[in-house]
A = this chain, B = another copy of it.
Amino acid sequence: MTQTAKAVTIVEPRKLELREYTIPPLQPSGLLMQIEMSGICGTDKHTYRGETTQYGGTVNEQISPFPLIPGHENVGIVADITPGVVDFYGQPLRIGDRITMCPDVVCGKCYNCRHIFGYSWCEHWRGYGNSFRASEQPLMGGWSEYMVLIPEAFVYKVPDGLKPELAVYTEIMACTYALDKAKEFSSIAAEGFLSDDAVLIQGVGPLGLCHLIKARMMGAGTIIAMDRSEYRLKMAKAFGADHVVNVGNTSEALEGVFVDMGNIPLNPHLIVSKALRLIGLSNHPFTGYGPSMDLMLRYQDKMPLDTFVTHCFPLEEAQAAMDTALGLECMKVVFTPNRAAQQR
């Protein structure tokens, strides 16, 4: 096995370098993953621009450290493993198995871990591709040839037949459990997300598009997608949106909310008089990976799921990858660090 691995590293805001790291020896219960694909997420774009505060206003608030190896939407192959290590569901893992992983590493013992089911609100939260300074703990992000999986990380075996270009966005699909939550709000017409209910999606980047996919899988009626990218609205159509609206020319378009963009004006009277429900959710359940992959497998012939990844780049073209991801003419942009080696 190779003794070193190359990895795209954000050394400071707006500065990417391809650095080489020594692969550390396998830890007890450890696992080494050869990366097939690793996505560029909106979070990574913020980090690249130096907007590094995540989970602001909560006990999980943290600042991404530099130098950083990003990459938390990962699919790859087990390259080395401690015998007996199993995946999240207890399935045995072997060298050569295709896996994906949950980037959120939790302690399982803090108040939040013990009171909030499945979601990673751990007070000691650490995020792959987000929390680990590469100079101290290397190869803890997916924009790399190899990634180190610590025993606390949740690993999921990819089912046979699910290609990497689908498995790579399992984490994003797991983020759509907001829709499952919406289903649980009573089966009265005006309350929860009933079958045939209309769904409006504001912004059909990768996260929005996955919500569209999931809404369609779950029995939505009319789906309306809004964005300012014609490229993305066209994809929304292809994935089942009934109506698309380009809001690029409207004067009141709202910006993203995962990152703290400050206050917006809002009329609380309308929330009350219309009996609205605003349900905040910035995360996804650990339990959502298996079902998400199963559903992708089930729907891969009914929806163009393999068009979701629109651009692949080798690690050497990190800047071009980032520039593409920062634009509006893409859906999911990924690195394929070992594509040549794998002859794919």
Q: How far is the CA of A119 from the CA of B186 in the complex (A)?
A: 14
CB proximity of A143 to chain B, nearest CB, Å = 25
Q: Contact check, B269 vs A56: say whether CB atoms are below 8 A apart.
A: yes
Tell me the nearest residue of chain B to A188, going by C-beta.
B117
CA distance A295 to B195 in the complex (A): 8
Residue in B closest to A260 when the chains form the complex, CB atoms = B269
Within 8 Å by CB of A90, from B111, B259, B275, B286, lies: B111
- A310 at interface, CB cutoff 8 A: no
> Chain B CB within 10 Å — which of A115, A118, A121, A214 has the most?
A115
B291 touches A281 (CB 8 A): no
Q: A272 and B280 in contact (CB under 8 A), knowing A184-B184, A184-B187, A186-B187?
A: yes
Complex Cα–Cα for A265 and B263 (A)? 5
Closest chain-B Cβ to A256's Cβ sits at a distance in Å of 9
Complex Cα distance, B110 from A190, in Å, reads: 14
- Knowing A185-B185, A282-B275 touch, does A221 contact B291 (C-beta < 8 A)? yes
Report how many copies the assembly holds.
Answer: 4
Least CB separation from A283: chain B residue: B275
Say yes or no: is A231 at the interface (Cβ < 8 Å to chain B): no
Do B195 and A187 have beta carbons less than 8 Å apart? no
Least distance between A252 CB and chain B CB atoms (Å) = 12
Alpha-carbon gap, A257 to B290, bound state (A): 34
Task: Give the shortest distance, in Å, between A109 (CB) and chain B (any CB).
Answer: 8
Instruction: Give min CB distance, A337 to chain B, whole Å.
Output: 30
**How far in angstroms is the closest Cβ of chain B from A164?**
20
- Per the CB 8 Å criterion, the residue count for chain A at the interface is 77
Q: A115-B190, A184-B184 are in contact. Are A280 and B291 (CB under 8 A)?
A: no
Residues of A whose CB lies within 8 Å of any CB of B are: 55-58, 88-90, 108, 110-112, 114-119, 121, 177, 179-181, 183-190, 192, 194-197, 214, 217-219, 221, 254, 257-283, 286-287, 290-292, 294-295, 298, 302
27 CB < 8 A contacts A-B:
A56-B269, A56-B270, A56-B273, A58-B274, A114-B287, A116-B190, A117-B117, A121-B190, A121-B275, A177-B187, A180-B195, A181-B187, A183-B183, A186-B186, A186-B187, A194-B291, A196-B290, A196-B292, A218-B219, A219-B219, A221-B291, A221-B295, A257-B269, A272-B281, A275-B280, A277-B279, A277-B280
